[in-house]
Amino acid sequence: MRDINILVFGDSITYGAWDKEKGGWVNRLRLALENDDSNSYYTIFNLGISGDVTESIKNRFDNECKIRFNKNDNTIIIFSIGINDTQNVKDEDRVSLETFRNNIITLINSAKKYTDNILFIGLTKVDESKVTPLPWDKEKGYLNTKIINFDKELKNICLENNVDYLYIYELLEIEELFDGLHPNNVGHQKICDKVKTKISKYY
């Protein structure tokens, strides 16, 4: 039996916010893999923290990996990050595109110390009518034009560094966003299905 460790870094979408049925796409992925493959033992770590940006993930990445890495296991590292970097705060960038780029490159270099099986999941769209501004914080908001720019940058960085990238901007319908930002049950399942197919080449 093969031991496969999957570490998933991200934010509240990774954590599984607003999937009230199965706890988010990462948990759905674990259930799907466990049910589909009896020849492997999967350990999936959901390392999504609500509100995280690339900077905060960069700062905790090595510590999270060191305590979970086993050189005898097949390790897969998935990043689903960046949507919070695109946030506007008082009409200013929360994170500049240059800082975002530098953080992604740092994460790629750090991840390559542990495995070559690295996947970055692209950014999802938002319903601007619900999140510009955010109802729970009127000084913050999201714009799809900015999300698209960051997503293009993410794709380019992955290509430059020979790392896999999964485009999902057009995957979800607006009605599949629970609050205009986070996917609902259907949206989380769609992401799960895409990720499961994408990572199958790693094991």
Structural domain including 89 reads 2-202
pLDDT for res 179: 97
Cross-sheet strand order for the sheet of 118-121: 40-48, 2-10, 74-80, 118-121, 164-166
Helix (H) / strand (E) containing 8:
strand 2-10
pLDDT for res 38: 72
Instruction: Please write the tens of the pLDDT for every residue from 113-169.
Output: 999 999 999 999 999 999 999 999 999 999 999 999 999 999 999 999 999 999 999
Number of separate domains in the chain:
1
pLDDT for res 43: 96
**Which residues of the chain fall below pLDDT 70?**
none
Phi and psi, residue 90, nearest 5° = 55, 45
Beta bridge partners of 164: 119
User: Radius of gyration over alpha carbons of the chain, in Å?
Assistant: 16
Q: Would you call 103 helix, strand, or coil by DSSP?
A: helix
CA atoms within 13 A on the CB side of 148: 4
CATH of the domain at 136: 3.40.50.1110
CA angle 11, 74, 123 (to 5 degrees): 25
